[in-house]
Amino acid sequence: MKREVIEWVDKAEGDFISAKRECRARKMPNFDAACFHAQQSAEKYLKAYLQELNIPIPKTHDLVRLLSEIPPTPALDVLRSGMATLTAYAVEFRYPGECASQEVAKEAITLSGAVRDELRHLLSLSVR
């Protein structure tokens, strides 16, 4: 596996861990941050896979657009609607006016986890 792919995966894992940690925090949980990191994890996993396939990585946070750059993959296509939901979390809760609930954060982590698991499989990495 290419060094760049490993770097993307490492960053994606860091975001996934941060999302879960924020959602589980007993004191001052930050559900907004959990949603943001869940989105970031999925984004970085998609970019890792694009890197592995030698496909230029567009500068976007739009997970559906990133998915459209990947050759058709039935397992990833099933996740498309979840990716659309996650895409909104790149900015939706980052500014005043909207706040994520614990339920929304858990859903974001579930969606991100599904993307993570499938892309780890496609990258021949263990799902841990």
**43 is written with which tokens?**
């984004």
pLDDT tens, position by position, 33-86: 999 999 999 999 999 999 999 999 999 999 999 999 999 988 888 888 899 999
Domain assignment present for residue 127? The answer is no
Question: Considering the domain boundaries, does residue 113 fall inside one?
Answer: yes
106 found inside a domain: yes
Q: Report the distance separating Cα 101 and Cα 10, nearest Å.
A: 27
How much is the average pLDDT of 105-124?
96
The pLDDT mean for the chain works out to: 95
Look at residue 71 and tell me if it is in a domain. Answer: yes
Q: Give which of 42, 48, 92, 91 is closest to 63, Cα–Cα.
A: 42
Paired tokens of 84: 């659309």
DSSP per-residue codes, 53-103: TT----S---HHHHHHHSPP-HHHHHTHHHHHHHHHTTTTTSSTT----HH
Which has the closest alpha carbon to 115: 58, 73, 52? 73
The boundaries of the domain holding residue 51 are 3-122
Residue 73, pLDDT score: 87
pLDDT at 78: 87
Cβ contact 39:112 at 8 Å: yes
Stretch 103-128: mean pLDDT, rounded? 94
**pLDDT at 128 > cutoff 80:** no
- Here the CATH number for the domain that contains residue 88 is 1.20.120.330
Number of domains within the chain: 1
In a domain, residue 46? The reply is yes
Q: Answer whether residue 128 is part of any domain.
A: no
Residue 20 lies in a domain: yes
Task: Please report where in the chains the tokens 């760049």 appear, as a residue.
Answer: 4
Residue 61 in any domain: the answer is yes
Residue 124, SS3 per DSSP: coil
